[in-house]
Amino acid sequence: MNKKKIITIIIAAFAAVSLGGILVGNPIMAYNNHRLKKAVISAAHQETVALNEIIPFDWDAVYTFSPYADKAEIEKTIGFHSTSVKANNINEGMVHLLFVKDKKVMASVLGYSDHLGYRIDFPSKVTFAENALFHVSNSDGIVTLAYVPSGAV
């Protein structure tokens, strides 16, 4: 293979990966989002779950944000800037979760629970260290994990 062909192949591969990243976003985050959905939905038959036990990737904290939270507000809350952070300026009633590990966004969920098939409800932040418990309910095909405050079990 000549040098020109090798360079053309390398450029084409780089362009394909770049285009894929633009269209799909971070592939690791997309994979973690998929694994998160699968894990939460598979917990539907349980009464309570520990978040630490069902989340299938490493995380230090998970955050949720109110409707219309802008990117700057979200980044201030999580303590760092990231291209993975999206403003929740679409509508009320959306699930907005950011799972963070070592100042990196590991999973980012922004969507309606009826489309996602699940929702995780908690005040604003849960850390891995808390080993937080969640009550599980399943209604209308949506699995809901509702935060159980410490000592309420």
Check residues 93 and 45 and name the one with the higher pLDDT.
Answer: 45
Model confidence over 85-129: pLDDT tens digits?
888 766 777 889 999 999 999 999 989 999 999 999 999 999 999
Q: What is the pLDDT of residues 124-143, one digit of tens each?
A: 999 999 999 999 999 999 99
Residue entry with tokens 């390398």: 10
Examine the pLDDT at 23 and tell me if it is beyond 50: no
